[in-house]
């Protein structure tokens, strides 16, 4: 294969980040003041994220990290001051309040596209090459040879370390897959009365239903079995609002809705997040169910901690550095996976004794401050709540 190496692709770099989603961009920014030559690539054109319909709940601790990168968009974020957790058709509920933890908000809600725009605005034209595809990676002792396709030209470069931040992986060896047989319908919906910065997490037999305050609206994540998702997508607006109301219950009315989109939900967990000269972060390492909004927050911490370790290395792909990274991230990623997976399984089972046990659990959370604080701190700080 003939390989051209011309501008704008340098022939030798230290860190190649594959995937300019929020996690890949975070890593590129966190390495901006390092001695490393870093290149970020994405297979889609720059700004393709503008079509993404998702909104993300961003933990208070994640906001602090984004602020340190000057990539926090204050006007685009809506504060979550309370989270109300309950189950449909069962007793028990718990209420988490920011004021109990001395923080201005438990978290913030921001559209994926606004977050991506804030991160992208900090990247120079030289830092991000897009659209650009990886054709082949050959990892060796000293570095990885990578074949890229950019502007119809094949280019070969070497990198000391290849970071995979390409998002959700396909089925492949080394990936544990658990299909939840649930789809998330995402929409922005106007509530009545106002949301007053309260988020709702309501567990239903179909799956969790989350309402996240976003501007004057709620960003809704309405989880249902695939057949029901198809039906919900086909309804007109009035029919969809009625279905949402029925699923949520009487406490709120919904008066208008924006466009709807659907995401299939599965757990995808990579058993080994490092290999010779390669590391996987963000959704490429673990794709979680969106319940309780852990996925991006976990990926952000992957990027942050990888950058911290790379700052201490003399060779970006040093196996000891990669092993230290894998060790440091193990508890957080396993806990994030267990937390979301456990919630989905526990609340999707309709056996009457389980419904009673869940009600008692929610009641216990509400009545037992240490338990409640543990869950709230997981929402605010992520891994740090375990220490
Ligand atoms: C409905 C829904 C709601 C969610 N809500 C929340 C929430 O409230 N809070 C939260 O923390 N998380 C949430 N998540 C999870 C969150 O969206 C992901 O964890 C986050 O987007 C992962 O970021 P990433 O950069 O790792 O991957 P992605 O966002 O998937 O970005 C990957 C990037 O890599 C690029 N790419 C892919 N393949 C290649 C390739 N071969 N070569 C080059 N580039 C490539 C893509 O174009 C893309 O730009 C939600 C997810 C869903 C589906």
Cβ–ligand 1 distance for 346 under 6 Å, the answer no
Architecture of domain 12-54+115-173+267-340: 3-Layer(bba) Sandwich (3.50)
SS (H, E, C) 297-337: HHHHHHHHHHHHHHHCCCCCCCHHHHHHHHHHHHHHHHHHH
Across the strands, what pairs with 220?
A: 187, 211
What is the C-alpha to C-alpha distance for residues 84 and 375, in angstroms, rounded to an integer?
Answer: 12
Strand pairing report for 198-204 and 82-87: parallel
pLDDT in tens, 115-148: 999 999 999 999 999 999 999 999 999 999 999 9
pLDDT attached to residue 355: 63
Give the rounded percent of residues in the chain with a pLDDT score beyond 90.
75
Distance of alpha carbon 294 from alpha carbon 213, whole angstroms: 17
For ligand 1, atom 2, which residue shows the shortest CA distance?
290
Give the closest residue to 179 by CA, choosing from 168, 195, 191.
168
**Would you say the CB of residue 167 lies under 6 angstroms from ligand 1?**
yes
pTM score of the predicted model: 0.94
Q: The tokens of 147 are what?
A: 């074949």
22 pocket-lining for ligand 1 (C-beta < 6 Å): yes
Pairing between β-strand 253-257 and β-strand 175-192 as defined by DSSP bridges: antiparallel
Cα(36)–Cα(275) distance, rounded to whole angstroms?
20
Question: How is the chain split into domains, by residue range?
Answer: 12-54+115-173+267-340
Per residue in 278-328, pLDDT (tens digit) is: 999 999 999 999 988 899 999 999 999 999 999 999 999 999 999 999 999
The pair of structure tokens assigned to 322 is 């990669």
Q: Whose CA is nearest to atom 30 of ligand 1?
A: 167
The residue nearest atom 28 of ligand 1, judged by CA position, is 167
The model's confidence at residue 387, banded by pLDDT at 50, 70 and 90, is very low
Rounded to an integer, the average pLDDT of 235-255 is 96
**Where residue 374 falls among pLDDT bands split at 50, 70, 90?**
confident
Atom of ligand 1 nearest to the CA of 22: 25
- 57-61, 70-74, 193-197, 354-358 — which is least confidently predicted? 354-358
- Mutating to test ligand 1, I would choose from 149, 167, 267, 297 the residue with most ligand atoms within 8 A of its C-beta, which is 167
Residue 207's contacts (CB-CB under 8 Å, 6 or more residues apart) are 180, 182, 223, 224, 225, 344, 348
Q: Could you tell me the pLDDT band of residue 342, with boundaries at 50, 70 and 90?
A: confident
Distance (Å) from CA 167 to ligand 1 centroid? 5
Best CA proximity match to 288, nearest among 273, 299, 279: 299
What is the structure's pLDDT at 163? 98
Q: Which of 17-21, 207-211, 380-384 has the lowest mean pLDDT?
A: 380-384
Q: What percent of the chain has pLDDT over 70?
A: 89
């Amino acid at each position: 294969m003939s390989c051209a190496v011309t501008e704008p692709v340098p022939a030798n770099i230290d860190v190649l980040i594959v995937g300019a989603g929020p996690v890949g961009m975070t890593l590129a920014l966190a390495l901006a003041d390092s001695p490393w030559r870093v290149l970020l690539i994405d297979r889609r054109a720059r700004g393709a994220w503008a079509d993404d319909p998702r909104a993300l709940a961003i933990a208070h601790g994640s906001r602090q990290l984004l602020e340190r990168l000057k990539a926090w968009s204050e006007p685009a974020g809506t504060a979550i001051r309370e989270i109300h957790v309950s189950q449909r058709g069962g007793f028990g509920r718990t209420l988490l309040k920011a004021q109990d933890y001395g923080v201005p908000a438990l978290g913030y809600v921001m559209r994926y596209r606004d977050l991506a725009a804030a991160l992208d605005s900090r990247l120079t034209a030289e830092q991000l090459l897009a659209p650009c595809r990886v054709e082949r990676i050959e990892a060796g002792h000293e570095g990885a040879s990578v074949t890229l396709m950019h502007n119809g030209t094949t280019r070969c470069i070497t990198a000391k370390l290849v970071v995979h931040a390409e998002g959700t992986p396909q089925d492949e060896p080394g990936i544990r897959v658990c299909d939840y047989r649930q789809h998330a319908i995402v929409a922005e919906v106007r509530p009545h009365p106002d949301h007053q910065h309260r988020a709702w997490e309501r567990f239903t037999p179909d799956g969790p239903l989350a309402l996240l305050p976003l501007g004057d609206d709620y960003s809704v994540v309405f989880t249902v079995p695939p057949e029901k998702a198809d039906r919900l997508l086909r309804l007109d607006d009035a029919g969809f609002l009625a279905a949402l109301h029925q699923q949520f219950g009487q406490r709120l009315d919904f008066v208008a809705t924006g466009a709807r989109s659907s995401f299939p939900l599965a757990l995808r967990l990579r058993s080994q997040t490092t290999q010779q000269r390669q590391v996987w972060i963000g959704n490429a390492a673990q794709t979680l169910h969106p319940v309780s909004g852990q996925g991006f927050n976990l990926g952000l911490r992957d990027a942050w901690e990888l950058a911290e370790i790379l700052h201490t290395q003399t060779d970006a792909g040093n196996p000891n550095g990669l092993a230290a990274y894998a060790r440091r991230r193990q508890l957080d990623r396993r806990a994030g996976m267990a937390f979301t997976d456990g919630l989905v399984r526990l609340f999707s089972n309709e056996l009457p004794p389980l419904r009673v046990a869940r009600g008692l659990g929610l009641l216990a959370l509400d009545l037992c401050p240490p338990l409640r604080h543990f869950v709230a701190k997981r929402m605010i700080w992520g891994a740090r709540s375990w220490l």
